[in-house]
Structure 1
């Protein structure tokens, strides 16, 4: 029963949705204490963390091959990536709601912090839209080439975080984690 539940895709999506539900609840229940700044920050954090987990799947698979965790991660990599996109989309919606109009959004769109965020989102949209079995079958080899856009999109995501943060220290730490994941991936693929 527990194994079946753990392998269940709906259960995984329930677990992945819990932080989002908590963010929405806290923002609705205590808007003075947990306002825009917390909601935008937490949604962005979850998008970035899930992106790092998604990117770590390949190095884990290459290092551990047939370990259960590697197999589980491979089976659910697209789910993790789509969940990362969902949090990024939520992050964007929170930003748009706060700006309450197109004019303030366009006024900020050219600044480096916002531009990197919008570019990252633009790269993630086709990845999320094609993260399903139908798209994999239809695109064949082109699917893998398309999904390599995750690497520049990830860099843009973390640059956006560093530029937009009041204190970029946490963003720099995550950039280091991203660099480590990618270094290990490249090293294992060449080995």
Structure 2
């Protein structure tokens, strides 16, 4: 049982549950749940999983020998890919709602949509290369490529602020994200000094 709970398959089952719930709610109760909830909830999950993914480095620096921190470090790529999966689902729901290409193209250059499309474009190569084979093939370039997660995260949160009816929640998340990054940078600088 312990092996099953620690397995990658179990992690992916857990990570897929919110998506299954969102799609189930949307399919079974379209009038009460509807497009707005589905697009909002998938965007939220994409952001939350991205925040957890980015929090792994400061957690690892603070709790080096803790088993749970080591586990998180080993599963960081899974969390990042899950974040991308929710962002992709968010995009699919948006496209489904538009039903045609022209409305998508008409909105594509507006700041709220443009930031979302740019964030997605940056996340695609990160998701594609989040596997052991790519790490081995790209060697040092892999780490450089995956630094794109930072501008992608900024674009994602700007998209959230601009696309929201009430951006308060987005601003709160930006504050949390900024705190995570400040802690990460401070810990990395301290590590270089000592």
- Output the TM-score relative to the length of structure 2: 0.97
The match for 1:95 is 94
The match for 1:5 is 4
CA distance in 2, matches of 1:136, 1:6: 26
CA distance in 1, matches of 2:189, 2:86: 33
Local SS of the residue matching 1:110: coil
Write out per-residue CA displacement over residues 120-146 of structure 1, whole angstroms, 9 at most, x where no aligned residue. 000000000000000000000000000
CA distance in 2, matches of 1:35, 1:7: 35
Count of aligned pairs:
190
The match for 2:78 is 79
CA apart distance, 1:6: 2.2
The yes-or-no answer on 1:163 pairing with 2:162 is: yes
Local SS of the residue matching 1:97: helix
The match for 2:134 is 135
Local SS of the residue matching 1:125: helix
Write out per-residue CA displacement over residues 135-176 of structure 1, whole angstroms, 9 at most, x where no aligned residue. 000000000000000000000000000000000000000000
The match for 1:33 is 32
CA distance in 2, matches of 1:142, 1:24: 37
- Output the TM-score relative to the length of structure 1: 0.99
CA distance in 1, matches of 2:141, 2:69: 24
The match for 1:116 is 115
The yes-or-no answer on 1:172 pairing with 2:171 is: yes
CA distance in 2, matches of 1:107, 1:68: 50
The match for 1:45 is 44
CA distance in 2, matches of 1:181, 1:12: 23
CA apart distance, 1:69: 1.6
Structure 2 stretches of 5 or more lacking a match?
none
CA distance in 2, matches of 1:72, 1:6: 12
The yes-or-no answer on 1:186 pairing with 2:172 is: no
Local SS of the residue matching 2:166: coil
The match for 1:66 is 65
CA apart distance, 1:5: 2.0
CA distance in 2, matches of 1:185, 1:51: 15
Structure 1 stretches of at least 4 aligned residues deviating more than 4 Å after TM superposition: none
CA distance in 2, matches of 1:69, 1:95: 36
CA distance in 2, matches of 1:66, 1:101: 52
Structure 1 stretches of 5 or more lacking a match?
none
